[in-house]
Amino acid sequence: MSIVIDKNLFTLHTRGATYQMKADQWGTLLHLYYGERTDSSDKSYFVQQNDVGFSGNPYEAGQTTRRYSLDTLPQEYSCFGTGDYRITAMRVQNPDGSQAAGLRFRSGELLPGKYAIPGLPALYAQEGQGETLVLHMEDHVSGLEVELYYGVLEDLDIITRAVRIINRGTEAVTLEKAASVQLDWQWGAFDWLSLYGRHSMEQNVQRTPVRHGVQSVGSVRGISSHQYSPFLMLCEPNATENSGSCYGFSFVYSGEFLMELEKDQLEQTRLICGIHPDNFSWRLEPGDSLWLPETVMAFSAQGIGGVSRIFHRALRENLCRGVWKDKRRPILINNWEATYFDFTGDQLVSIAQAGAEMGAELFVLDDGWFGKRDEDISGLGDWVPNEEKLGCTLKELGERIQALGLDFGLWLEPEGISEDSELYRNHPDWAVEIPGRKPCLSRSQLVLDFSRSDVQDYIIGAVSKILSGAPVSYVKWDFNRAICDKFSHALPAGRQGEFAHRYVLGLYRVLEELTSRFPEVLFESCGGGGGRFDAGMLYYTPQIWGSDTTDAIERLSIQYGASLGFPISCIGSHVAAVPSHQTGRITPLNTRGSVAMFGAFGYELDPGSLSSEEKAAIRAQITFYKEHYDLIHHGDYYRLTAPDHPNCTAWEAAVPDGGTALVTAVYHRVSPNPIPVRVRVQGLRDNLWYEVSDGTGVYRASGASLRQCGLVIPAAKEEYQAWQMLLRSGGSCDED
């Protein structure tokens, strides 16, 4: 059993981890253990209670002991205002204006299968794969009930957390903070790894010690943001890529979030993860309930890489859905960096034809095909094809593309609205604006109010008409600004604090409807690049555009950081022209291809500007990618060196049985008299021989030697040179 219940003791087991909690004599739900798999015995002996000065005692316990304090105990879900002075999971405002709640354990129940969350993305279980534990907590004064959900996917090494809050009382209460997960460690020093950045420079890795006090990452931008990712790891200070205990947390949500850490006076560490409270308040009338987003948790004793590979498999197999979950994604060519807004239908067909001759399978028409849209200051919201510009209908253009043997895709930005648009002139109240104030513009545009059901219905109808009226097989769903001026004309004053979360719920409703209506269409999410790169979007779109930066060298750090918590198969990555449109850097075509093919692969350039040699090289890249698609997209991923390595960034994909591996290395610089670069190959079988094709020749080495002694990467002969080294098993070493 993955979930063991012994009276008020609850133990959860995955393949490599154990999680335990217990309701004590006062009804406090204590967190006891999360770490390497162990037995189900009661670990509450480890909770030491002492009289800690200025840490008060609950009234019922304070009558008998001063050693019992909510301010020092490890808890599963703490509340503000009743004696725990640390960061807490929930803060409520009661009808009398007080901000206090005291949750006490009431009961627990075991449910078959993995829970689902209405209107929100979450991991799902295959038939017979998961179990769910629900723990019921209640505040006896207000009648507020909190249901703590624990999903256990034992074979995936995953535990998920979610929360449902119900008002069982007779008066309305307002939630001011409602987190999805709390986790307390009673001892141990930790480093925390987070991902930070900015537009076109996303997913940088930051590793710092957890210090005394509160530290956090989050977003109040209406989206998960380029600046911080809703993902972090906690690791032992000596943990490396391949060793040491590490914990990973991925918030399955596409809006505003906060991930907080606090080391307290007793050297205990607390983690809180949930919707950002700064822009959040939610009124619960009697009988109302609110589901909170899911957090996915993983533990590994095999270091940072061990946690990453757990997340890669879980998100790829149990979060992504639909026909494109496992189906090979088409190799696309996008016209954006070839033409920007300046194109005709004939030019687009010419690009598509040249792309088809090189082996592309999908042509994507980017921004500028609709309404009055020759630059980014107008037209958003008017989702009517500009037939004068295209020289034909959208249907006819799509059919011309199909006649070349390519599928046809479109760029859309349904959440945006331009002031210079028919939609804004007809429905100014549909824009996110505060009455009486001039709005903050970004990219000369406003945001459609997706918290409104009428706006949601309009977008569902408009996009459905496009997808039904033309042979569209791919949609790039973009969102090119953060949200501010948060106000909905459809919400009363007392509920404006619900806007940001209602917006995300509206977005999810639209995406659920469209992906259900058009299951054969491949949707890719984009937020001006990586502005909405989160697990929540993967539930609807199995791939996300990694960054608006297509420079291969910049992409090394972006894709390295993203790989900490996200599978390679979900990262949109393209080969672009040189000099790079973002940096002016010139990199070899082989390097651009080697980097981009570790993702949802494609090209973003004008094939007509390429030489015959470059076109032949692209054909070879596409052939290689197709041949090794399963290895790259579904293999185990290993980071062999980091982008801050003095010489090169190297990574590896290996099939789970260790039969084949592909090592890629990109040099950062070329130097005279270079020192050889060696990397230890992972994921192979020690007792097998491997034929190593390193680009300069072929030799044989045992799996044990490649793991222990390493692989030598050939020296760079030009700036930014890349090497792809294929390792194929060739019999047992024992037979020799």
* Alpha carbon distances (Å) from 380 to 371, 383, 421, 443: 8, 7, 7, 11
Q: What's the half-sphere exposure (Cβ side, CA atoms, 13 Å) at 596?
A: 29
How far is the C-alpha of 256 from the C-alpha of 220, rounded, in Å?
5
Helical segments of 284-340, H only: 303-318, 336-339
Task: Name the active-site residue from 614, 630, 691, 719.
Answer: 614
How far is the C-alpha of 547 from the C-alpha of 555, rounded, in Å?
8
Give the tokens for residue 507: 């977005």
How far is the C-alpha of 18 from the C-alpha of 479, rounded, in Å?
40
* Alpha carbon distances (Å) from 314 to 307, 318, 321, 725: 11, 5, 12, 28
Give the tokens for residue 38: 């162990």
Instruction: Using alpha carbons, select from 725, 706, 713 the residue that is nearest to residue 674.
Output: 713
Instruction: Using alpha carbons, select from 147, 100, 110 the residue that is nearest to residue 132.
Output: 110
369 burial via Cβ count (<10 Å: 0-12, 13-18, 19+): buried
The secondary structure element, H or E, covering residue 556 is: helix 552-562
Task: Name the active-site residue from 76, 433, 534, 606.
Answer: 534
Give the tokens for residue 60: 């019922």
Give the tokens for residue 659: 């039969």
Contact of 26 with 82, CB cutoff 8 Å: no
Give the tokens for residue 375: 């630059």
614 is catalytic: yes
Amino acid at position 692, single letter: V
Give the Cβ contact number of residue 316 at 10 Å.
Answer: 20
Q: Residue 464: what are its φ and ψ, rounded to 5°? A: -60, -40
The SS3 of residue 242 is: coil
Q: Residue 510: what are its φ and ψ, rounded to 5°? A: -65, -45
Contact of 509 with 539, CB cutoff 8 Å: no
Instruction: Using alpha carbons, select from 465, 455, 379, 371 the residue that is nearest to residue 419.
Output: 379
Cross-strand partners of 263? 212, 269
Amino acid at position 381, single letter: G
Q: Cis link prior to 714 (omega < 30° from 0)? A: no
Task: Name, in order, each residue with C-beta under 8 angstroms of 616's C-beta and a sequence gap of 6 or more.
Answer: none
How far is the C-alpha of 257 from the C-alpha of 58, rounded, in Å?
31
288 is catalytic: no
How far is the C-alpha of 335 from the C-alpha of 365, rounded, in Å?
6
Could you list the active site residues? 534, 614
